[in-house]
């Protein structure tokens, strides 16, 4: 897709630091992170919506997301990593991984 910003990132036309890459997917930092470690995971092939991604690529995509979530959790000392599929800002299927910390609700 010639006007897709994520396709331009995959092709190298727009430079970024890939945190993960294999034959099917790449991951890179979100340009406007909501929290430190906010990462996008995308299939290299252009698919507008997550439900359009072929199963074999979807398996690679979610496997990469799981691997990265564990790494982000450790690196950012997070309690968990939120996974979100929104898809309205950029019409290229993508997952958001956002390290999160639970608030301490105990009272001493």
Catalytic residues: 94
Helix, strand or coil for residue 56? helix
DSSP output for 64-97: HHHHHHHHHHHHTT-SEEEEE---SSSSS--EEE
Q: What is the phi/psi pair of residue 79, to 5°?
A: -80, -30
């Amino acid at each position: 897709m010639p006007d897709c910003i994520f396709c331009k990132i995959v092709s190298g036309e727009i430079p970024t630091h890939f945190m993960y890459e294999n034959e099917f997917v790449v991951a890179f930092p979100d340009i406007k992170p909501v929290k430190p470690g906010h990462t996008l995971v995308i299939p290299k092939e252009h698919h507008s919506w997550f439900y359009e991604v072929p199963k074999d690529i979807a398996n690679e995509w979610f496997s990469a997301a799981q691997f990265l979530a564990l790494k982000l959790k450790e690196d950012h000392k997070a309690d968990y990593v939120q996974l979100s599929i929104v898809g309205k800002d950029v019409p290229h299927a993508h997952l958001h991984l956002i390290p999160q910390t639970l608030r301490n609700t105990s009272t001493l």
